[in-house]
Amino acid sequence: GENVEQHPSTLSVQEGDSAVIKCTYSDSASNYFPWYKQELGKRPQLIIDIRSNVGEKKDQRIAVTLNKTAKHFSLHITETQPEDSAVYFCAATGRRALTFGSGTRLQVQP
């Protein structure tokens, strides 16, 4: 089955800096890659997703890139703000349900 690895497990940045979270996947059939943000005590919420026919997607301060050949995808957050502090999960799916990475705890220091 699919295996998704996510790095780093924790990330601390200063407000205004950029943050990058990287994931790799194993199943070449995977073609949908969402990113979820989970604030403390809340449900995971989708913040951006990308499909395999696209190499990059942006939404304001958030962008995701996908390299199908290398089987990795990344989340980029620019101009980080304290409210970006949360746990971020990457996921991949193709033929089965979503497989999630282990999560990255992002802390933005004011």
**By CB under 8 A, residue 43 contacts another protein:** yes
Taking the least distance from each CB to another protein, the nearer of 1 and 110 is: 1
**By CB under 8 A, residue 99 contacts another protein:** yes
CB of 26 to another protein, least distance (A): 15
By CB under 8 A, name the one of 21, 44, 84, 85 that touches another protein: 44
By CB under 8 A, name the one of 10, 17, 18, 51 that touches another protein: 51
The answer to whether residues 66 and 73 touch, using CB atoms and an 8 Å cutoff, is: yes
Q: Compute the Cα dihedral for 109, 83, 63, 10 and give only its sign.
A: positive
Measure the CA–CA gap between 10 and 67, rounded to whole angstroms: 23
For 84, phi and psi rounded to 5 degrees?
Answer: -80, -10
Mapped onto helix, strand or coil, the DSSP state of residue 91 is: strand
Owner of token pair 């295996």? 3
**By CB under 8 A, residue 29 contacts another protein:** no
Residues engaged in binding another protein (CB under 8 A):
31-32, 34, 36, 42-46, 49, 51, 89, 93-94, 96-103
